[in-house]
Structure formats: structure tokens, C-alpha cells
Amino acid sequence: MFVTANEHAGKAVGEVHRNLYGLTDLRFVKAPEEFESLSVLDCVFLALPHGQALEIAPRLPTGVKVVDLSGDFRLNDADEFREHYGREHTAVELQREFVYGLTEFNREEVKNARLVSNPGCFATATLLGLGPLAASGALKGRVVVDAKTGSSGSGAKPAANTHHPQRSNSFYAYKPFTHQHLPEIEQALRGVGAGGRWSSELVFMTHSLPVSRGIFASIYAELNEELTAEQLKEMYADFYRGSFFVRLVSGSPDINWVKMTNFCDIGFAARGRQVAVFSALDNLVKGASGQAVQNMNLMFGLEERTGLLLVGGNP
């Protein structure tokens, strides 16, 4: 086992990530230039900027399983990829072999996969919150998703409008109608449940929260018939039966309850045929690395919760 980070090569993991000090003897190394040597590995996690996995994944030994955390292999449509990621997809044939790794939707497919594309953080929060309604055919008309994220979703390096001091006492929308997770969400909704039932217009808006981590998505929809919040909760409980990391709560969830964990908490409100579904998760765990480990567990026949029984804080 080894971990790469070219700019930190030679440094101890606990030196770079001080919260891990004393917990591991691993040191960062440079990424290998030749990939044949990686055939001795069981699994490779690619946690790289968008575009780099396109170059690396096709060169990895075919006996190695791969979980890619970037957006490079999430979209089936090369034209949509070009539009939302601003580059040509150079591994279209390999893309067809990737399974979309939203674990709770594609558990059986992930179990049998060699290549898994880990979902985006906004996509995970939105899909877990909206999926049961989409699968049931209960939706009528437009669906509005109002999603908010903490500053850590922008990565470790500061940039204009993403650096935490800029965001900490501020609140604003960004990428209206154009966020790269939108086509990913629509693609997954078309395949959820019975499949082919998703036909609603989706309005997807993202905002910057003045916190370091966490995603909170508010999903507003109209249904074909009246449902109470308790009836919604029953529908979701049936859909997520056996999904340990989805917790259904009364009223609103709170990002404090899910920070540092692999849980997604979902709550409900209803007024006649109008419903609101709220989902909260940690953008770096269930929205990224935690879900990647969850997928790896399934790919290797391990218990799904292995290494992921993490407890959140309050507050």
C-alpha cells in the first residue's frame, strides 16, 4: 500500500495531515510514471483534479480495481462531458465499463464492478434525497433543488471566492443552471428504481455556506397526490431498507450530526401535494472519500460498513 502526492513526496502523511499524526507510518511518494508495477495492487483510488484520471485510468493494469473520485467517468454522454467539464472525453470506450458508484442505488452493480466512478458530493445529497420520489412516479411537474456546501468542497488550495476567509461571513450562489453535477443527477434519476420514470424539469441551484464542511440540500416538489410527512418517511424507509448510511429523521436534519461521518440524514415536510425533502451529509466523507471506501468494500466482498463507523458531533 502506498499514497501519492507529488508536492508532498517524502513527507509523512501525519506531517501533512496533522489529525493523522501517530496513526500511520505511511509517507507520500511521487506518482509512478510507469503503471505496470501497480499490477501487485488490489485497488487504486484516483483522487485527482478533473481530467487527470482520463489519462491514467486507461493505462492501469486490467487486473486492478479502480475507484475514481473525479468527474471524468461519471457522464455517459461525451457531449455533456465537454459542455460541463470544458474538455474532450478521451476514454469513451473505457467510460462504458465504469459503474456509477452511488452505493444505495447501484449496490449490486458495484459488487461486480472493476471500475467505479464515485459520485459528486452535490449529486449524492440530491440523489439520495430525491431518488425515492423519482422511482415511485409520484412527482408532478418541476422539481427545485436548493443546495449549499461548505468551503472544503473547493479543495485545499485557496482561490477567489473559494478561500474560507472569503466565504466564512458570506453567502452567495454560484454556477446557476450550469453546475457540473446537474447532468450527473439527471442521468442517475433516469435509471433509478423502475427506470424511465424521470421526466420532470430539474432546477438545480448551488450556494456557498459559511462553514468548512457539510452539504445541505432542500428539495421542493409537487406530487400527484397528497402525502403526509410520515407517509413520505415510510416510502423512504422502504426504498432504503438495508442502507445503513441513510438515516431518516423527523423534521430537518443538521449538518452538525453528519460532519466527519459517512451518513446522509434525510428529513421531510409536507403540505397537501407540496413536499420538501431535506438531505444533509459531509461533502468530504459520504460526498467523496467515505463513499469511495463504501464502494471498495462492496467490490471486494467486505462488510459495507468496514472502516466507516464514524461518529459525528453535536454541535
Strand 246-248 with 43-46, pairing: unpaired
C-alpha 34, offset from chain centre? 30
- CB-based contacts of 29, cutoff 8 Å, min separation 6: 2, 3, 4, 9, 10
User: Which residue of the set 121, 219, 246, 285 is catalytic?
Assistant: 121
Query: What's the CA gap between 74 and 81, in Å, rounded?
Result: 9
- In the chain, the amino acid numbered 163 is H
Tell me if residue 264 is catalytic. Answer: no
Which residue bears the cell 475514481? 68
Active site residues: 121
